[in-house]
Amino acid sequence: MLGTLCRYLRFMGYDTVSASEMAGGNSREDTLLLSRARAEGRILLTMDRDLARRGGDDAVLIEEKNVMDQVRVLARAGLIVPEARFTRCSLCNTLLRPARPAEILRADYAPGRDPNRTFYWCARCRKLYWHGSHSRDLEKRIQEFFLQGSPGLD
């Protein structure tokens, strides 16, 4: 339910794990989620009222549907600083590292050579990242929403 929020948190540099990445079909899934969050020192974000209640201080109920409103809730609670950092893979959460020239050359989807562009590599997904229009749009969206007087963020 919170997959987009998970990706946004990763774009902001936060170490996140999505329940969808865990094996499904277990009738004790909620208990396993709470146990894992506590064991790893994580805060469980959920849209499930009962799960949030059971999680107590280790859980946050997310009622908003819009991802930017969800981010605002976390920022208001002091859990995050809404700033794009682009240090993690948005798909698997792995920390990115500077890409090697061979990795850039093998990525047929990479933009043309630009000496001012820095590329990053996810060793797990084998995915190339760079600061382009997508990252600029995300940075702008976060800045506009949070830094220019978003209602109620005081």
Q: How high is the pLDDT of residue 100? A: 94
For the chain, domain boundaries: 1-86+133-154, 91-130
What's the whole-model pTM score? 0.84
- What is the rounded CA–CA span in Å between residue 106 and residue 108? 6
The predicted model gives 1-10 an average pLDDT of: 93
Instruction: Give the pairing type, strands 44-46 and 59-61.
Output: parallel
What are the distances in angstroms from CA 114 to CA 47, 105, 118?
43, 13, 9
Q: How high is the pLDDT of residue 91? A: 93
Q: Which of 45, 38, 54 is CA-nearest to residue 6?
A: 45
pLDDT digits (tens, 9 = 90+) for 76-130: 899 999 888 999 999 999 999 999 999 999 998 888 767 788 999 999 999 999 9
What are the distances in angstroms from CA 111 to CA 32, 76, 131, 140?
42, 37, 11, 21
Q: How high is the pLDDT of residue 27? A: 57
Averaged pLDDT score across all residues of the chain? 88
**DSSP 8-state symbol, 19:** G
